[in-house]
Amino acid sequence: LVNLASLFNDTLGRPDDALPLLRESLQIRRESGNTAGEASVLNNLGVVHLAKGNFDEAQTNFERALEIREKKVVPTEMADTLHNLGETHSKTGQYDQSLKDYERALQFRRDASDKRGGAIESYSMGTILDYKGRYGSAVKAKEEALQTFRDLKLREMWLGEILSGLGNSLTLSGQFDEAKKYLDEAASVGRELNNPSLVAQTTRF
């Protein structure tokens, strides 16, 4: 049920078809007393509501998932839900709370020795710092994320996203020549990965 819901939401872009499947899965998890599975389904429900723009529903499901996951003390799972909460708070303009969510997620990534995940949290924090007009701090956070991806030799969508976002932060801080260097590289990564949305975002920046 969860995998089918993921197919509908993530691949086919049909969140309305995913919701009843996840609700059925949640009922089964609860009836069987599988709290870890319940938290996972709640987190997935939050993701679907976030995709639909139902931010209150998304936040409620993420908070319930986090409450269960904090009792289990699994750093990666807590970080996943905190990241989702950070995104939800960002969508509703609660930037200070969003930063706190990402900062907690970053600490859990570090506890789990998840360098890639930690870099994504740093980048997400940088994006919120842009929204708050703290462009110098945003550049620093995104540069740290980029350095981690370079150290890990990862060439994937997130590399292009980080390059593109760093270029945007540099532009906002008035460092236009430096910004163009990263934006050109981001566009190259987008074309290499055949990711038109990344190329479009980079072109807009």
Cβ-contact 44, 50 below 8 angstroms = no
Give the separation between CA 65 and CA 20, rounded to whole angstroms. 18
| pLDDT of the residue at 73 | 85
Give the separation between CA 10 and CA 18, rounded to whole angstroms. 9
pLDDT at residue 178 tops 90? yes
pLDDT at residue 151 tops 90? yes
pLDDT at residue 154 tops 90? yes
Question: pLDDT band for position 183 (50/70/90)?
Answer: very high
pLDDT tens digit string along 120-144?
Answer: 999 999 999 999 999 999 999 999 9
Alpha carbon 160 to its chain centroid, in Å, reads: 14
| pLDDT of the residue at 126 | 98
Tell me, yes or no, if the pTM score tops 0.75: yes
Angle formed by the axes of helices 55-72 and 35-52, to 10°?
Answer: 160
| pLDDT of the residue at 93 | 96
Cβ-contact 22, 39 below 8 angstroms = no
pLDDT tens digit string along 21-79?
Answer: 999 999 999 999 999 999 999 999 999 999 999 999 999 999 999 999 999 888 999 99
